Amino acid sequence: MAGIGPVEPEPPSGTDAPHTPAHTDTLWAGSPNSLRPYERWHALPQRLRRTLQTLLAAAAAAGTYAHSALTTTPAAPAPTPWPSQVTLLHYEGTGSPDPCHPHAASFRFTISVRDTHPVTIRQVRAGLPGLTTHVTPTLPLTVKSGAPEPLTARISVYKCAALPPGFTLPHLDLGLRNRQAQQQHSYLFGGAYPRDLATYLHDTCGPHTGHSGPPRGPRTDLTRK
């Protein structure tokens, strides 16, 4: 067969109806230049548009959550301070004489803690050689925030020769512990405590011990050796 011109499709045999292409639900159906984007969108079935809108909203929400998770850094918990940084020792004055320990002197203190975590007092010692220290109440003593605890240190001399000839800043050595660490710390005192301790040492071991000044009473039987 010979001829010119375009070849046209043959309709199905047995019917005279023209061939109609099947409809497809696609966003890009038709010629690329035939419809604008919003026209293509509105040309879609309503059910397909709702499905696409739901998928786009879910993808946007997932992207926002992923970005937030990647850029947000969890805050680190505040570190617990060292026990010496939050434990205060305040001198209250001398205590009453103890008839069971006539050669000892009692010194009263108050311990307080400035932290939410408690501090345990494990040890208390006088900061001068030749002295012994006994504490009331019995150690260990746990002190909580907002609940100051009284503490009495009974100090006695066991060897006058070991005492220094003079001192200006006597101290107490405390063993402290909290959830952060265990620590030895020296508390220095000025004012009343050095004067009261010097008076006791002066009366016990002689005028050449501690601060100079006349004795307030007769010396005890503790002598330099």
Residue 148 tokens, joined: 């100051």
The Cα 191–Cα 126 span in angstroms is: 17
Q: Which of 33-42, 110-119, 149-158, 199-208 has the lowest mean pLDDT?
A: 33-42
Tens digit of each residue's pLDDT (9 = 90 or more) over 171-222: 899 999 999 999 999 999 888 999 999 999 989 887 756 543 333 333 333 3
User: What CA–CA distance (Å, rounded) separates 137 from 182?
Assistant: 20
Residue 75 pLDDT exceeds 80? no
- As beta bridge partners, residue 123 has 175
Order of strands across the sheet that contains 131-136: 87-94, 104-113, 149-157, 131-136
Q: What mean pLDDT do residues 30-39 have? A: 57
Q: What pLDDT shows up at residue 58?
A: 72
The CA angle 219-220-225, to the nearest 5 degrees, is: 95
HSE (side-chain half, CA atoms, 13 Å) at 194: 14
Average pLDDT in the chain: 76
Q: How confident is the model at residue 170, as a pLDDT? A: 81
Q: What is the pLDDT of residue 4?
A: 47
Six-digit token string for 118? 């408690």
Contact assessment for residue 215 and residue 203, using Cβ atoms and an 8 Å cutoff: yes
Instruction: Identify the CA nearest to 144 among candidates 111, 112, 120, 118.
Output: 118
Question: Picking from 18-27, 81-90, 131-140, which range would have the lowest pLDDT averaged per residue?
Answer: 18-27
Taking residues 136-161, what's their average pLDDT? 95
Q: Is it the case that residue 26 has pLDDT exceeding 60?
A: no
Q: What is the pLDDT of residue 44?
A: 67
Q: What is the pLDDT of residue 57?
A: 72
Full DSSP string of the chain: ----SPPPPPPPTT--SPP-PPP---TT-S-TTTS-HHHHHHHS-HHHHHHHHHHHHHHHHHHHHHHHHHHPPPPPPPPPPPHHHHEEEEEEEE----TT-TTEEEEEEEEEE-SSS-EEEEEEEESSTTEEEEEESPSPEEEBTTB-EEEEEEEEES-GGGS-S--S--EEEEEEE-SS-EEEEEEE--THHHHHHHHHHHHHH-TTSSS-S--SS---S----
Are the C-beta atoms of residues 173 and 186 closer than 8 Å to each other? yes
Indicate yes or no: pTM above 0.75.
no
Average pLDDT over residues 11-34: 50
pLDDT band at 54 (very low <50, low <70, confident <90, very high): confident
